[in-house]
Amino acid sequence: MMWDLIVYGLTAGGSALLNWWAQANRRRLKGWQDTAAACGLSAVESSSALNLYLTLKAQAGVAGAWIAQGKSGARVGVRVSGPPGFKELKISRELARPGPGPREIEIGDELFDRTFSVAGPVRLACALLDAEARRQLLSVNAEGELVLANEQLWADVPDVQLPRTLTLLLDLGRRFARPMDLEQCLADNALRDPEPGVRLRNLLLLIREPPEDARTLAVFRTACSDASPQIRLRAARELGAEGRDVLVGVAESTEDDDCSAEAVSILGRGLPFERTRAILARALQRRRIQTARACLEALSRSEAAAAVELLAKVVAREKGELATAAALALGMTASSAAEPPLILALHRDVTGLQVAAAKALGRVGSAAAVLPLKEAAERSSGDQDLPRAARQAIAEIQSRLPGASPGQLSLAGAEAGRLSLAQAEAGQLSLASDPAGQLSLASAEPGLLSLSEGGEGPQPAPGNATQADSACGK
């Protein structure tokens, strides 16, 4: 009798529990149906209240939605029939991004790019994800995890968030499904999006189009007035001569160091010397390093006589990378006036400057630079960069001397100050085995320079002083 009562109690209790659970599921399904109806959808199919996995499908014209049991509430989604290529478009939370797969697309909106991982056709993604679409996606994602994949846009949210989330998803679905002119959408985003990064991203995509396209040219011209210097720079660059004044404005602007530097580089010799000097002065004063470097490079190609003097001042007054860049720029001028300041730079204990000066002297130096190069190399303490640069510079200088052939001029490796001419062939300069500081020439040929045994110094052979002077570059 007791066992019968226990079995009856368990059965009755199980039946009551099952009934309670079914009633809860019916109420939940009814809530889902009411949500769908409020969004203009009609329930077309639903699971039984006794199912462990509840589902509801709804439809309104071509719009279709579904609600199902989620991880922590309900999973609500809509089916989206987008433009060509939409099936390959994928959006998911950044932390949920899979490892291998398509490369992530940067839209240009810092918050959006930090929140989502986007993959698929780049142009389509940038065209579709305008400011309003991004706002809605971020809004849905704030309530629960959002995913777009295989033409399905869905999110996991609590039941209480279903009405708002379903409304947003349906609106996004209609937005993505509407007919679109891809190029016009990119143009609109390039000109009107509130985020500068998005405008720039869309503009760069338009740049790939044929430049003679009237609509694209109109976008570039309008973008030349954009608040962002990056956008003005890109648009003006594409317009060529028409955009020159805009480029000059960006070069002279103090808004963005990288943009100003790039504008200076693009203009090159088209930027007058006086304007380059003024831009350089402001850049040095405000420590806008990239712009200053671009100006130094532009001055190295300038035909103005004052360019060398200006570069020499920068070498003398600056330290670090700007002094180094100015020294290299002096070498690029191919001017003999660049030699004296470069020789002086060999005596400055500034990191990288001596090596840069030696390399520059290899391009513009004369025989007068040989001894300073050798002395600078000998003063270096363990670092082989300077001796190596000095040897290379001396070789380049020697190759430019009249009547010389490669390899005739070299540095002593053992004792300081030792240079001599090879005995095998008159006119060759090599290392002497005599005491330091002696320079000797083979006596077989007239007009060769030699040192007397008494150490009185180099003496030219009678009647050949002019030839000796010429060989030394005097």
Classified as helix, coil or strand, 427 is coil
From the CB of residue 402, how many other CB atoms can be counted at a distance below 10 Å? 7
pLDDT tens digit at each of 474 positions of the chain: 444 434 444 455 567 777 877 888 888 888 888 899 998 888 788 887 777 788 989 987 767 898 998 777 899 999 998 899 999 999 998 865 545 555 589 999 999 999 999 999 999 999 999 999 999 999 999 988 899 999 999 999 998 899 999 999 999 999 999 999 999 999 999 999 999 999 999 999 998 766 567 889 999 999 999 999 999 999 999 999 999 999 999 999 999 999 999 999 999 988 999 999 999 999 999 999 999 999 999 999 998 889 999 999 999 999 889 999 999 999 999 999 999 999 999 999 887 999 999 999 999 999 999 999 999 998 887 778 999 999 999 999 999 887 655 445 444 443 434 443 343 343 444 434 344 334 333 333 333 333 333 333 334 333 333 333 433 333
- 305-411+470-474 placed in CATH 1.25.10.10: yes
Q: Are 91 and 147 in contact (CB under 8 A)?
A: yes
CA distances from 168 to 70, 172, 174, 248, 436 (A): 18, 6, 10, 46, 88
Quote the CA–CA distance of 91 and 149 in Å, as a whole number.
7
Q: Where are the domains of the chain?
A: 2-183, 305-411+470-474
Sheet of strand 74-79: strand arrangement: 42-46, 55-60, 63-69, 74-79, 152-157, 146-149, 90-93, 116-119
- Reported pTM: 0.74
Q: How many CB atoms lie within 10 A of CB 98?
A: 10
CA 156 to chain centre: 37
Tell me which DSSP letter residue 407 carries: T
